[in-house]
Amino acid sequence: MSERTFLRRFRHQIGTTPSEYLLRARLERSCRLLAECDLPVDKIARRSGMGNGSQLAKLFRKRFKVSPTEFRRRARTGSA
């Protein structure tokens, strides 16, 4: 199967591109780890496949309009 055919079929079946699907999965894992454990943001970023804390923070601000630390605080106080 060609790469183009794979991308077209993936998008048709899943409803999004493979890169967007992977990014969402990584962000979901990051959110879960931020809410459930006390690991530093940098370690959570590496465990989620985001590279480093700076990259995770940049994506968090873009997607959720808050920093990972603020997301953690809100998730733990129930205002997320």
pLDDT digits (tens, 9 = 90+) for 15-53: 999 999 999 999 999 999 999 999 999 999 999 999 999
Radius of gyration of the CA atoms of the chain, in A: 15
What mean pLDDT do residues 4-8 have? 97
CATH, range 3-77? 1.10.10.60
Hey, where are the domains in the chain? 3-77
Kindly report, residue by residue over 43-67, the tens digit of the pLDDT. Answer: 999 999 999 999 999 999 999 999 9
80 confidence band (pLDDT: 50, 70, 90): low
User: What is the number of other CB atoms lying within 10 angstroms of the CB of residue 15?
Assistant: 9
What type of residue sits at position 39?
L
Question: What pLDDT, on the 0 to 100 scale, is given for residue 78?
Answer: 78
